């Protein structure tokens, strides 16, 4: 299982690692654009809906930001535990957070959000869950910054379906 998960992680993160190693094309100097306000979870969050009975989201975390990501997980777990939303409570029942013992490409720390079972039609986007739990916009942006600054690449969502293995058949001689 561990080898299969490591191979799966490597498969999905390899393109991101290759892109990170590529140098951007050189461009002539330009005036820098006006500073933009930090993105809020509501503006960034896209629907994260699973279509299978189980799923995972792989998070590649910059090694120097592991403490920030784990702090984010603390906020997330508190949000899940205190939610009054029945769907979020159901999501929390099947939501586990795991960290790979091995590092990923470029030394990233790999965190797996494992969902078993998933909640049909539920949005697993962190922005929505955190925004409901932390209505103070300043606090919410502080939490969201922990998340966005700690990721090396965006999370990869995978839908997982249990395999039904047929019974072995007796061979006749």
C-alpha Rg value of the chain to the nearest Å: 19
Tokens of 142: 């502080």
**What confidence tens digit (pLDDT) does each residue in 95-129 have?**
999 999 999 999 999 999 999 999 999 999 999 99
Q: How far apart are CA 141 and CA 72, in angstroms?
A: 12
pTM exceeds 0.75, yes or no: no
Distances (CA, A) of 14 to 77, 85, 148: 29, 37, 20
Q: How far apart are CA 160 and CA 157, in angstroms?
A: 10
Domains in the chain (CATH in brackets) are: 52-152 (3.30.70)
User: Rounded to the nearest 5 degrees, what angle is found at the Cα of 109, between the Cα atoms of 149 and 114?
Assistant: 95
Arithmetic mean of pLDDT over the chain: 81
Do residues 89 and 97 make contact, with C-beta atoms less than 8 angstroms apart? no
**What confidence tens digit (pLDDT) does each residue in 32-67 have?**
444 444 444 444 445 799 999 999 999 999 999 999
What burial letters (b/e) apply to 5-29, b meaning 16+ CB within 10 Å? beebbeebbeebbeeeeeeeeeeee
């Amino acid at each position: 299982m561990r080898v299969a998960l490591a191979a799966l992680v490597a498969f999905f993160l390899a393109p991101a690692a290759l892109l990170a190693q590529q140098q951007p094309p050189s461009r002539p100097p330009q005036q820098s654009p006006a500073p933009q306000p930090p993105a809020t979870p509501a503006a960034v969050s896209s629907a994260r809906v699973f279509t299978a009975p189980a799923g995972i989201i792989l998070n590649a975390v910059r090694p120097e930001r592991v403490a920030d990501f784990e702090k984010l997980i603390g906020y997330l777990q508190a949000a899940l535990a205190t939610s009054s939303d029945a769907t979020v409570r159901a999501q929390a029942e099947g939501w586990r957070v795991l960290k790979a013992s091995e590092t990923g490409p470029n030394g990233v720390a790999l965190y797996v959000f494992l969902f078993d079972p998933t909640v049909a039609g539920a949005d697993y986007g962190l922005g929505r869950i955190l925004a409901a739990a932390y209505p103070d916009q300043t606090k919410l942006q502080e939490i969201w910054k922990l998340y966005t600054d700690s990721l090396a690449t965006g999370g990869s969502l995978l839908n997982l379906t249990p395999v039904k293995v047929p019974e072995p058949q007796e061979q006749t001689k």
